[in-house]
Amino acid sequence: MIPECVAKLGAACSAPLDHAATGCVASVTLTPETIHDAVAVMDKEGYLLEDVMASDLEEGFEVAYHLSLLDGANRVVLRLTVPHDAPRVPTVSDIYPGADWHERECFDFYGIDFAGHPNLYNLLLPEDFEGHPLIKDAKARKSLADLVPLTYLVDCGLAEPEPEPKAKPKPVAKAAPKDE
Amino acid sequence: MQAFDPTALRGDLASARFEPGPTDDKLILSMGPQHPSTHGVLRIMLELDGEYILRAEPVLGYIHRMHEWMAEQKTYMQFMPNMGRVDYLHAMAWNWAYAGAVERLMGVEVPKRAEYIRVAVTELNRISSHLLWWGAYLLDLGAFTPIMYAFDDREIILDILQAVTGSRLTYSYFTIGGVYGDVPADFASRCLAFTRHLRSRLPMYRDLVTDNVILRGRCEDIGVMDVELARRYGATGPCIRGSGAPVDTRRAEPYGVYNRFDFRIPAYTEGDAMARYMVRMDELVTSCDIIDQAVQGLPEGPIQAKVGKTVKPPKGEACYAVEGARGKIIIHVRSDGGPKPYRVKLRAPGFSNLSVFCDLARGTLLADAVSILGSLDLVIPEIDR
């Protein structure tokens, strides 16, 4: 069941998830332009930011923010994709100070630039470390459509940043989103 | 003879951010990475005015091992031993979070006997973690004796868990779909004897330490964190329960068979180091209650679900949250249908708990910062991963 506040996020799309099968109740797809306001809404609703998880996909870097209320099984995941050549996401550390380190960790591992971050430099890796260890080879990258089970996740913001994998999300459309 | 030029001293990136301020009486101090009160290899950059902290910033990464990269290189089962090394004090909870995430992805149902064994060993491990924290925290505060008592009791748990798992510290006892081996025949009686023993020791702990006026002076009103601060930093576990929010993943998102047990979630409203201390001491009793119920109700049956030799979850992603001794552990697993995970993300509670420290330490005495640091219950390998 999608929590009510998700309607206020200005999401490109949102899909309900089965908590027993995924651990989350809703997946909300946003863009770098809308993420900051959306996270601010979640903060007002009393959500706790659990972590910021980046992953390297064919479409670009996906950044996922996992939030849950203090009590109950109600984890919501806000996600967005940024292209590999310009991985720029606005920071949310001004809303959640705890996001500071999570974003620095994403910077360490993927080189994602969190615009407006007060101190975006190496957190876990040594300062003279070159490169970003979790970036995959182009060959090893998978498209979101290869990683997403059709039954529950509908991701419609995907096709815009890179038109190329448009052929692939065909099965995604089968999952019958209730949004437009 | 060359004149001494202080600008020629070059620190690293972290110390470069701590330049001497506009006044001369500021002291920049690098506490750690080998300072005994930082429990391992944490380093904290401090800007001091006399004995008061103006600014504090933890510097991480001294024991960073890149577990998330290792996960992508190994098969699902090969990654399991890493879980005992992320947080070596509550390894069972990490075992559980990883096994749970993969099971969720595969849709495996764990047999009831395995679920009960998982609860019993995880709670035993939680007690051993809290006991070690208790001893080490008091050591930080200058009391030497308590750690001897704590290790004495902890030794019994390690013996029980050694008989079950074969190892004493870095357990990798869980497997996808259950646990590796069955418990020995005397497991239940040893657990019950231990919980009885620990309950009899707790009044002594209270008289010896908890009610001690010196300890109270070092902990009360130190590092006060309200619920809102904890939420914004993502602090969980005893840290947020000490701030008055009785939230616990075992109750909020019941996993395993926790919803079958009757237990109390301790919470204190003061939000200071003492409240976090009291939460952990009360949790010893909570864990004893759960262990008693788990080993008394231990059902017969298989201990592993049939998952096949090679674990190959279908494509998809799943996360699994577990209440560790330090807070909410979450492991996200993303699969592309192959034999290795596509992405594994470890959410360590200590990471978020430590990030509150910059806020809590501001304006306190240096000696109190040591007390605050200890009250957050840090395990550096978990923070650095």
Is-above-0.90 flag for pTM? Answer: no
Query: Is residue B264 less than 8 Å (CB to CB) from chain A?
Result: no
* Chain position carrying tokens 């999952």: A175
The per-residue pLDDT for A60 is 86
Q: Note whether B356 and B327 are within 8 A (CB).
A: no
B99 lies in a domain?
yes
Q: How far apart, in whole angstroms, are the C-alpha atoms of residue A153 and residue B123?
A: 35
Residue A177 clears pLDDT 60, i.e. is over it: no
Question: Percent of chain A beyond pLDDT 70?
Answer: 79
The per-residue pLDDT for B23 is 66
Q: Which tens digits make up the pLDDT trace of B350-370?
A: 899 998 998 888 888 888 888
B57 lies in a domain?
no
What are the backbone angles phi and psi of residue B29, rounded to the nearest 5°? -125, 130
Q: What CATH code is carried by the domain that includes residue B177?
A: 1.10.645.10
What are the backbone angles phi and psi of residue B47, rounded to the nearest 5°? -115, 120
User: What is the residue-wise DSSP string for B243-307?
Assistant: TT----HHHHS--TTGGGS-------SS-SHHHHHHHHHHHHHHHHHHHHHHHHT---S-SB---
Q: How far apart, in whole angstroms, are the C-alpha atoms of residue A73 and residue A64?
A: 18
Residues of B in contact with A134 (CB under 8 A): 68-69, 72
Query: Is residue B233 less than 8 Å (CB to CB) from chain A?
Result: yes
pLDDT band at B4 (very low <50, low <70, confident <90, very high): low
Q: What ipTM describes this predicted complex?
A: 0.85
The per-residue pLDDT for B282 is 92
Residue A157 clears pLDDT 50, i.e. is over it: no
Q: How far is B92 from chain A (nearest CA, A)?
A: 20
Q: Which tens digits make up the pLDDT trace of B50-90?
A: 888 888 888 888 888 889 999 988 888 889 899 888 888 89
Q: What's at B246, amino acid-wise?
A: P
Q: Which tens digits make up the pLDDT trace of A31-60?
A: 888 888 888 888 888 899 989 999 888 888
* Chain position carrying tokens 């509150």: B356
Q: Note whether B356 and B383 are within 8 A (CB).
A: no
The per-residue pLDDT for B259 is 87
pLDDT band at B141 (very low <50, low <70, confident <90, very high): confident
Taking CA atoms, A159 is separated from A166, A175, B151, in Å, by: 6, 16, 58
Residue A173 clears pLDDT 50, i.e. is over it: no
Q: Which tens digits make up the pLDDT trace of B234-283?
A: 899 898 998 988 888 888 888 888 888 888 889 898 888 999 999 999 99
The per-residue pLDDT for B330 is 92
Query: Is the N-terminal amide bond of B33 cis, ω within 30° of 0?
Result: yes
**Mean pLDDT throughout A72-84?**
87
Task: Choose the closest CB to B252 out of A21, A72, A121.
Answer: A72
B182 lies in a domain?
yes
Residues of B in contact with A73 (CB under 8 A): 252-253
Q: How far apart, in whole angstroms, are the C-alpha atoms of residue A38 and residue A8?
A: 8
**Mean pLDDT throughout B207-217?**
88
Chain-centre distance for alpha carbon B156: 20
CA angle (B81, B86, B92) in 5-degree steps:
65
- Half-sphere CA count of B3, side-chain side, radius 13 A: 2
B20 lies in a domain?
no
Q: Exposure of B38 by Cβ count < 10 A (0-12 exposed, 13-18 middle, 19+ buried)?
A: buried
B56 lies in a domain?
no
DSSP B365: B
B positions 322-351 inside 8 Å of A (CB): 328, 330, 332, 334-337, 342-343, 345, 347, 351
Rounded to the nearest integer, the mean pLDDT of chain B is 87
The per-residue pLDDT for B128 is 93
B327 lies in a domain?
no
3-state helix, strand, coil in chain B (%, to 5): 50, 10, 40
Furthest-apart CA atoms within chain A: distance in Å: 48
Best probe of the A interface among B342, B344, B378, by most A CBs < 10 A, is B342
CB-CB under 8 Å, B315 with A125? no
pLDDT band at A121 (very low <50, low <70, confident <90, very high): confident
The per-residue pLDDT for A167 is 42
Taking CA atoms, A22 is separated from A54, A81, A136, B237, B290, in Å, by: 17, 20, 24, 22, 27
Q: Which domain holds residue B158?
A: 78-308+370-380
> Roughly what angle, to the nearest 10 degrees, separates helices B145-165 and B112-140?
160
User: Which residues in B173-198 are b (16+ Cβ under 10 Å) and which e?
Assistant: bbbbbbbbeebeeebbebbeebbeeb
Question: How many structural domains comprise chain B?
Answer: 1
Residue A2 clears pLDDT 90, i.e. is over it: no
